[in-house]
Every structure is written in structure tokens, then in C-alpha cells.
């Protein structure tokens, strides 16, 4: 695949998507406002690629694949210009105003023919498209965490997304070696997250009620339903702050009690217990 890809946001999702694109043969520019985030993304990518290569899951060496990734430090006022980019993906924190701000800068940094996508996990595409002068070339491209391992990518059509943009986004996802799920209606939370959030919220409420211990609940779900990770293990992996923000966004849009964040998530986030990244969430990590 010969796409030139620009990704803004070097967190877990942005760095994972960058690796996916590099493994597919793309030249990738990864941008962030913090050098520490870029350094961490490159180190994590190198570790992941080395592991995949040693297991025979990728043919090219870690050095060859990571050599396709260039990092650039962005500032608060603008993004580095990327006139050759054919695909630009916003992958910053799940906050409407932050994403709108980044998307406006991203549109100014790329050419008029560049496909622009957001990796939001739940914010309606139309709400973010308001920041763009050309919303017809804007689409949702929701990768799941960890992006390198998860095959599904939701491709979400906004009300202004053109047929050409939607088709191109589906083709790009396939070229990246992923399985696209076309989402034709711009619902908060899209399709898969709406299903997962209801199950996850119920799991958290059951623990909150004292009906079951977290480890027993996860063990039961994996044993009965064949999930690779239980809902609480998944919550810790994604980050409880990310879950709280995403569910808060969806609940505000829908007022559907099924999506209302449980009080236990709010308490853990307030206490700084965000999951794996802080060493403690529903479980403790070394």
C-alpha cells in the first residue's frame, strides 16, 4: 500500500494506527504536542514489531517497518504541513472541542484531495464535521484497542460524507489488512461500542452492588461467552478515563440510561485509578 498517512495524536490509539499503516507499507508521519509521547510511541512500536517479527507474524524486520514512521512535534497553533498526505487521521483524546480544534488544523495542513478521518469511539461524525470547510471528505474510521491486533474497524458515514469518501475509506481499511464494518447511520457510539458499553456497564454495576468480585465476573464471562478478555479487564486496558469520557458523551447525546457511566467508574477516575496506565483500576498491575 503506497499511501502517505498523517496521524495526529501519539497515544495508545494513534501509535497503534501508525504501526498498522507502517506494516501495510505506508509512509507515516506521527504528530503530537509532546515529545515524550512521540518517544514513547516509537519505543512501544519497536517492541511490538520485534515481538511480531520473532513470532513470524510479520516478514519485515522491526527496523524496516519503523523506518517508515517519521515523528513531528506539533505546536498549539498549527500542525506541520503534509501536502503529500493521502490519508489523515485524528486520534487525540475523546473531547469534542479538542477534536474539532485539531481537525480544523489538520484540514489546513493537507491537500484538498486528502481523505480526513477521525478515530473517535463514540462522538457523532456530524458533530466533529462542523469544524471542517469540506465535511464531504470526512469520515469516521474507528480502530479498536489494541489497533495492531484487533481486525475490525468501523467506517462511519456522517450526513455530509460523500459516496466517494465512504467507498475510499472502506478500501483503505481493507488495504491495511483490517475488516471494515460499514456504519451507515451516524449514531453516538456507532454499532459495536453501543453493544459493548451496555454489557460493560452492567458488569461494573454488578461489582458495584457487591454481587460478584471483578476477577470472578471476568472469569465467568470468558468461560461462558468465549471472550478473550473480560469486560473489566478490557476497561483497565482501554483506560477508565477514556471509558468515562466516551460513555459520558454518548449518554449526553442519547439520555439513554443504558449508557450512563456507573458511579464506580467516576470514583476510580477521581482517585486516579485509570487502569493499566496508572498501575491500578479494577486490578493492580506491576
**Does residue 263 form part of some domain?**
yes
Q: Do 253 and 166 fall into the same domain? A: no
The residues, any chain, with a CB within 8 Å of residue 164's CB and separated by 6 or more, are none
Q: Which of 209, 269, 217, 218 is nearest to 239 (CA)?
A: 269
Q: Quick check: 35 pLDDT over 80?
A: yes
148 and 211 housed in the same domain: no
Residue 126 confidence (pLDDT) above 90: yes
Find the catalytic residue in 107, 154, 233, 273: 154
How much is the pLDDT for 249? 83
250 domain residue, yes or no: yes
pLDDT reported for residue 246: 85
pLDDT higher than threshold 90 for residue 240: yes
What is the Cα–Cα distance from 40 to 129, expressed in whole angstroms? 30
pLDDT of residue 178: 98
Domain ends where: 183, 211, 244? 183
What pLDDT is recorded for position 94? 86
Range 58-66 average pLDDT: 96
Phi, psi of 56 (to 5 degrees): 75, 15
The answer to the question of residue 175 being in a domain is yes
Q: What is the pLDDT of residue 76?
A: 75
Catalytic residue among 66, 193, 200, 245: 193
Residue 162 a catalytic site member: no
Q: What is the pLDDT of residues 90-110, one digit of tens each?
A: 999 988 999 999 999 999 999
Q: Give the DSSP letter string of 231-250.
A: HHHHHHHH-HHHHHHHHHHH
Let me know if residue 63 belongs to a domain. Answer: yes
Q: Are residues 108 and 11 in the same domain?
A: yes
Instruction: Round the average pLDDT of the chain to a whole number and report it.
Output: 95
Mean pLDDT along residues 160-188: 97
If DSSP codes are grouped into helix, strand and coil, which group holds residue 186?
coil
Q: Is 133 a catalytic residue?
A: no
Q: Are 134 and 156 in the same domain?
A: yes
Rounded to 5 degrees, what are φ and ψ at 279?
90, -5
Question: For the chain, what percent of residues have pLDDT higher than 70?
Answer: 99
- Give the domain-ending residue among 149, 183, 217: 183
Structural domain count, the chain = 2
* 273 carries an active-site annotation: no
Judge whether 133 lies within some domain: yes
pLDDT confidence of residue 223: 97
Q: How many CB atoms lie within 10 A of CB 279?
A: 13
Structural domain that includes position 248: 196-276
- Are residues 171 and 210 located together in one domain of the fold? no
Whether residue 41 is found in the same domain as residue 103: yes
Note if the bond before 146 is cis, omega within 30 degrees: yes
State which of 153, 183, 213 marks the end of a domain.
Answer: 183
**Percentage of residues in the chain having pLDDT higher than 90:** 90
Closest listed residue to residue 115, CA positions, set 70, 68, 172: 172
Q: What is the mean pLDDT of residues 4-21?
A: 97
Among residues 15, 119, 142, 273, the one annotated as catalytic is: 142
Confidence at residue 211, expressed as pLDDT on a 0 to 100 scale: 98
Active site residue 4: no
Q: Supply the pLDDT for residue 111.
A: 96
The reply to whether 97 and 159 lie within a common domain is yes
Amino acid at each position: 500500500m503506497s499511501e502517505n498517512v498523517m496521524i495526529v495524536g501519539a497515544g495508545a490509539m494513534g501509535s497503534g494506527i501508525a504501526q498498522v499503516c507502517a506494516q501495510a507499507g505506508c509512509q507515516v508521519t506521527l504528530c503530537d504536542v509532546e515529545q515524550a509521547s512521540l518517544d514513547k510511541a516509537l519505543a512501544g512500536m519497536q517492541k511490538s514489531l520485534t515481538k511480531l517479527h520473532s513470532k513470524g507474524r510479520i516478514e519485515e524486520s522491526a527496523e524496516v517497518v519503523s523506518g517508515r514512521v517519521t515523528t513531528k512535534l506539533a505546536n498549539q497553533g498549527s500542525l506541520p504541513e503534509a501536502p503529500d498526505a493521502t490519508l489523515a487521521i485524528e486520534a487525540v483524546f475523546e473531547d469534542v472541542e479538542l477534536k474539532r480544534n485539531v481537525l480544523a488544523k489538520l484540514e489546513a495542513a493537507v491537500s484538498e484531495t486528502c481523505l480526513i478521518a477521525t478515530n473517535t469511539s463514540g462522538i457523532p461524525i456530524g458533530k466533529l464535521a462542523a469544524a471542517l470547510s469540506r465535511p464531504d471528505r470526512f469520515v469516521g474510521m474507528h480502530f479498536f484497542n489494541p489497533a495492531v491486533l484487533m481486525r475490525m474497524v468501523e467506517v462511519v458515514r456522517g450526513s455530509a460524507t460523500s459516496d466517494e469518501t465512504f467507498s475510499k475509506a472502506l478500501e483503505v481499511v481493507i488495504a491495511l489488512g483490517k475488516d471494515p464494518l460499514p456504519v451507515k447511520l451516524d449514531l453516538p457510539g456507532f454499532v459495536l461500542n453501543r453493544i459493548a458499553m451496555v454489557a460493560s456497564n452492567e458488569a461494573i454495576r454488578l461489582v458495584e452492588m457487591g454481587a460478584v468480585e471483578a476477577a470472578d465476573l471476568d472469569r465467568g464471562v470468558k468461560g461462558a461467552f468465549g471472550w478473550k478478555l473480560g469486560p473489566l479487564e478490557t476497561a483497565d486496558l482501554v483506560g477508565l478515563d477514556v471509558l468515562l469520557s466516551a460513555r459520558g458523551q454518548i449518554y449526553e447525546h442519547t439520555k439513554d440510561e443504558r449508557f450512563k457511566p456507573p458511579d464506580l467508574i467516576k470514583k476510580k477516575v477521581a482517585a486516579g485509578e485509570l487502569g493499566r496506565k496508572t498501575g491500578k483500576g479494577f486490578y493492580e498491575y506491576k
